[in-house]
A = this chain, B = another copy of it.
């Protein structure tokens, strides 16, 4: 969509799967196959009509309608999310900011007064909110999710570092900022390790590990296997 929107802004009328794939950094066959699930919107020998494709994808992805969301937990992250311009421009309207701290109540954040958790159910029902964002500390997240769900929310974006237990039919997506960094650090470590492997093996004067475990039995000998990222 981002690549398409860029083309649209440059008034490019049509694009081939090959061009679009290059712009988006994906395989052209995959792109065509994905589009084919939406229907046959391309023209053979020509490509895809940019505007029409934007419209069809927007519609299919639900970008043509407005989604009211609530943000629960107005700490640093919650406030950053409230101020984040990317939401409004993509059809998300922040219906309310909710925090459990009574001292926060009434304080303006992103030009909107923070409301107390007591109001949670009322806010959700009055605004027909079906998507909630949880930016509370880990300890509060499960309870907040239960209240959100009881009040009618069926999709949750969870920034708290906990696995939420939710009933069937409720979607949860988790964003864990630390894990993203950890994944990078993991690969970073491997880059360094590969370079040092020979040297370390040759000059090993390190003591064996304290809690001595069984020797590695995996198929790759001593080389640690790659875990999926």
Contact = CB atoms under 8 A, between A and B. Distances in A.
Given A41-B213, A80-B79, A188-B130, A175 B178 contact: no
Nearest to A156: B184
B180 A175 contact: yes
A157 interface: yes
B37 A225 contact: yes
B216 A39 contact: yes
Interface in A15-60: 24-25, 34, 36-41, 51-52, 55-56, 60
A160 to B, nearest CB: 10
Interface of A: 2-3, 24-25, 34, 36-41, 51-52, 55-56, 60-63, 65, 67, 69, 76-77, 79-81, 83-84, 86-87, 89-92, 130-131, 133, 154-157, 161-163, 169, 171, 173, 175-178, 180-189, 191, 211, 213-218, 224-227
> What are the 5 closest A-B residue pairs judged by CB atoms, nearest first?
A80-B80, A37-B225, A62-B189, A155-B184, A39-B216
